[in-house]
């Protein structure tokens, strides 16, 4: 009954259908927000935005909040400056550590390079001396070494055979002595 009275009052006021729908939506919003108070602000903003669009009014500009006091701004700025300073200190410490590690690596590489260059000089000197050696001399050294290897081979077989012959009587003597001792 209340709703039909309300609608008849609105019809007598010569309200356009678009405006009537906006008003009905507003009333529905008020009823719903009384049931669900946490949604009040969101629905109110939506309602007024729709009303402004229907009436052709430009959207409302957000009002800036009150400016913080100068002392608050200074304390916020100093806190952010302290935080930024500590972050810069951490970054600088990391940079120092990385640069020290790189310096150590560079010095070890320089040392290795020095050692390798000395080894290269020695090898070049050996190569040059071998290149200056005449071919007949190299052949002569090869025959000397080859003959020594043959003699060494014969000597090795001889020593092996003598070791077998000598170890047999020694092992028999050791076995007899151990038997007599009782071990």
Cα angle, residue 18 at apex, residues 17 and 19 outer, rounded to 5° = 90
What is the rounded distance in angstroms from the CA atom of residue 82 to the CA atom of residue 6? 63
pLDDT in tens, 15-30: 566 666 766 776 776 6
Secondary structure of residue 182 in the 3-state scheme: coil
pLDDT in tens, 137-154: 767 777 777 665 566 777
Question: Domain residues of the chain, as ranges?
Answer: 2-55, 73-132, 134-181
Give residues with Cβ within 8 angstroms of 174, minimum separation 6. none
| pTM, rounded to two decimals | 0.33
pLDDT at 49: 75
Q: What is the 3-state secondary structure (H, E, C) of 26-69?
A: HHHHHHHHHHCHHHHHHHHHHHHHHHHHHHCCCCCCCCCCCCCC
Q: pLDDT higher for 175 or 133?
A: 175
Contact 59, 46 (CB under 8 A): no
pLDDT in tens, 77-114: 899 899 988 999 999 999 999 999 999 999 999 999 99
pLDDT at 14: 58
Out of 50-54, 106-110, 113-117, least confident range? 50-54
């Amino acid at each position: 009954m209340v709703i039909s009275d309300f609608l008849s009052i609105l019809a007598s006021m010569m309200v356009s259908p678009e405006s009537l729908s906006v008003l009905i939506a507003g009333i529905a919003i008020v009823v719903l927000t009384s049931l669900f108070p946490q949604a009040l602000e969101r629905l109110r903003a939506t309602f007024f935005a729709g009303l402004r669009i229907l009436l052709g009014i430009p959207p409302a500009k957000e009002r800036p909040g009150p400016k913080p006091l100068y002392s608050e701004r200074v304390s916020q700025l100093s806190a952010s400056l302290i935080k930024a300073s500590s972050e810069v200190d951490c970054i600088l410490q990391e940079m120092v550590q990385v640069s020290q590690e790189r310096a150590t690596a560079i010095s070890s590489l320089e040392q290795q390079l020095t050692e390798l260059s000395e080894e290269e000089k020695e090898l070049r000197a050996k190569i040059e001396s071998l290149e200056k050696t005449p071919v007949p001399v190299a052949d002569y050294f090869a025959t000397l070494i080859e003959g020594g290897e043959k003699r060494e081979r014969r000597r090795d077989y001889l020593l092996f055979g003598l070791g077998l012959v000598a170890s047999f009587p020694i092992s028999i003597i050791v076995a007899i002595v151990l038997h007599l001792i009782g071990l």
